[in-house]
């Protein structure tokens, strides 16, 4: 049984908390409004951006998961949630004399700047153009240069129960497919985020960085057409390239999950078909 702190216990964090609590670990879920955490998870009200609210962390924590997310995509909000909040928590752990066996940070595939459909793995260059990726990378640096053993886990776009925006847009016939060359998106089902994090916690000699995405980088157009077909929705209209959501970011890369799989993790949802398929059943 381990003592586990999940800081920023939201969509991913709460799924992880539920899973770990059900495995009889003692789990604390920290967030500003900690009502409604899964049964068996100790709520901890604190603001990661207010160091004084982190003065009384539970003692003797074995594992820390930093799964907070920014309130908006503005640079200030990103820096606060991913860099300042993480620094504050690491400082608080140090000041309290804690020595967690590992600190995990849920990073993002946005750290890659590749935009021509390249395959990327954990060793690929990380030269993001957008501030969101640059700030994530800065946070990874804070984590990996800390005195604690640490792992950055780069998640793809997280989807799962309750996150139905794309499904509902397709159902209403509002999601257009983009013209132009293929553009790939990378996804991670919420339960694979939680599953991969729990799995990595159990490894004796993990690497410092893992890409946790499903097996199949997919074209957004393909996902939209597949959903429309399954939902019996109107065929998606063809949208000018600039209007399609996946085209606006400029991001276009295919992330490999070979390192995660070689470490022994078996995906629950190997592609968007299994994940969305279950959500629209």
Binding site for ligand NAP (CB under 6 A): 8-13, 31-33, 47-49, 67-69, 81, 85, 106, 108, 155, 157-158
To ligand NAP, the closest distance from the beta carbon of 88 in angstroms equals 9
To ligand NAP, the closest distance from the beta carbon of 50 in angstroms equals 8
Beta carbon nearer to ligand NAP, 183 or 233 = 183
Secondary structure, 3-state, 203-264: CCCCCCEEEECCCCCEEHHHHHHHHHHHHCCCCCCEECHHHCHHHHCCCCEEECCHHHHHCC
**And the tokens for 211?**
């890409």
Name the residue number minimizing CB distance to ligand NAP. Answer: 10
To ligand NAP, the closest distance from the beta carbon of 70 in angstroms equals 7
Beta carbon nearer to ligand NAP, 142 or 179 = 142
| Kind plus residue range of the DSSP H or E element containing 6 | strand 3-7
CA distances from 218 to 179, 225, 273 (A): 16, 12, 10
How far apart (Å, rounded) are the C-alpha atoms in residues 99 and 105? 16
To ligand NAP, the closest distance from the beta carbon of 108 in angstroms equals 4
How far apart (Å, rounded) are the C-alpha atoms in residues 145 and 152? 11
Beta carbon nearer to ligand NAP, 134 or 233 = 134
Beta carbon nearer to ligand NAP, 40 or 173 = 40
Judge whether 180 and 117 are in contact, CB under 8 Å: no
To ligand NAP, the closest distance from the beta carbon of 241 in angstroms equals 22
To ligand NAP, the closest distance from the beta carbon of 117 in angstroms equals 19
**And the tokens for 181?**
């060359």
Beta carbon nearer to ligand NAP, 223 or 233 = 223
**And the tokens for 83?**
């860099």
Beta carbon nearer to ligand NAP, 12 or 166 = 12
């Amino acid at each position: 049984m381990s003592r586990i702190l999940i800081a920023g216990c939201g969509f991913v964090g709460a799924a992880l908390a539920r899973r770990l609590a059900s495995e009889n670990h003692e789990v604390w879920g920290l967030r500003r409004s900690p009502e409604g955490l899964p049964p068996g998870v100790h709520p901890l009200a604190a603001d990661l951006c207010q160091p004084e609210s982190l003065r009384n962390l539970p003692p003797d924590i074995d594992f820390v998961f930093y799964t907070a997310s920014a309130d908006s995509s503005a640079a200030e909000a990103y820096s606060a949630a991913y860099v300042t909040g993480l620094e504050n928590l690491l400082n608080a752990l140090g000041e309290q004399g804690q020595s967690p066996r590992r600190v995990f940070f849920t990073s993002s595939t946005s750290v890659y700047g590749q935009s021509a459909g390249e395959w990327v793995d954990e060793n690929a260059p990380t030269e993001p153009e957008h501030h969101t990726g640059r700030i994530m990378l800065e946070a990874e640096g804070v984590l990996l240069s800390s005195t604690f053993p640490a792992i950055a886990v780069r998640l793809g776009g997280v989807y799962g129960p309750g996150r139905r925006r794309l499904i509902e847009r397709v159902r209403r016939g509002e999601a257009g497919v983009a013209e132009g060359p293929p553009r790939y998106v990378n996804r991670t089902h919420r339960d694979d985020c939680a599953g991969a994090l729990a799995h990595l916690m159990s490894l004796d000699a993990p690497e410092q960085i893992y890409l946790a995405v499903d097996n199949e980088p997919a074209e957004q157009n393909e996902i939209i057409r597949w959903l429309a077909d399954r939902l019996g929705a109107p065929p998606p209209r063809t949208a000018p390239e600039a209007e399609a959501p996946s085209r606006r970011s400029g991001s276009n890369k295919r992330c490999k999950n070979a390192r995660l799989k070689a470490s022994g993790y078996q995906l629950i949802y190997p592609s968007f078909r299994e994940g969305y398929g279950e959500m629209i059943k």
